[in-house]
Structure 1
């Protein structure tokens, strides 16, 4: 299951960082505390529609654009069967066992869709998995950005 607040937070952070702006700048423009905005971006708090609109306004983005991006990310996650299932169910010596992530010691599953999108899922805990998707692009093309969501 994808947590909507995590996907929203990731989309807001990506937009802010894409503009090379600090949390302080955006929190001031949106009239929200820096700490609360940080919690929203990390997916720890779920913003109200009014607050989300104020943050989007501070970022110069339309709320509909952000919600469309969030919707596309959730739809993409739903279309990949098995990506969000626990990745450590296989025995370690199994040929289909997920490789272990060095930093967390948890399993990581890689999935690639038609050569243009690379997806990895990491089981962070029994109740949390992180899904990272990235468009596969030439080294010279830097217009796309990675999208990360966690459930």
Structure 2
């Protein structure tokens, strides 16, 4: 089973360490307890969207970059576990399946 929180924690820890920041520095900047950040980095706690935004801000990192990196890591783990076909990796992104402006998607009639 692929755990999103574990992969997210790995990505956040790698980014923090890559920037040479300590948990204490990120904690002060993000205004989140050091212990809670540590639990998130170890995949023991889920990060709310607000908390994740604070951590990304403290790391001077766009949320979209973090989510993209987590998504890529999830795909790799799914492949390794046989949960995903190789040809599915190059599948059409979800955003391209969205209706064009002006398209009728549902009607309450």
With normalisation by structure 1, the TM-score equals: 0.53
Quickly say closer, same or farther: Cα 1:2–1:25, change in 2 above 3 A.
same
> Greater helix percent: which structure?
2
| C-alpha distance in 1 between matches for 2:31 and 2:81 | 41
- Could you list the per-position Cα deviations for residues 32-53 of structure 1 after superposition, in whole angstroms to 9, with x for gaps in the alignment? 0000010010100001001001
| C-alpha distance in 2 between matches for 1:53 and 1:25 | 16
With normalisation by structure 2, the TM-score equals: 0.73
| C-alpha distance in 2 between matches for 1:14 and 1:33 | 19
Q: Which has the larger radius of gyration?
A: 2
> Greater strand percent: which structure?
1
**Number of aligned positions between the proteins:** 83
Asked whether 1:57 is paired with 2:27, we answer: no
Compute the RMSD of aligned alpha carbons.
1.3
| Matched residue, 2:67 | 67
Aligned runs of 1:21-40 on 2, under 5 Å?
21-40=21-40
Quickly say closer, same or farther: Cα 1:81–1:6, change in 2 above 3 A.
closer
| More contact order relative to length (CA 8 Å, sep ≥ 6) | 2
Q: Which runs of 5+ in 2 are unaligned?
A: 84-109
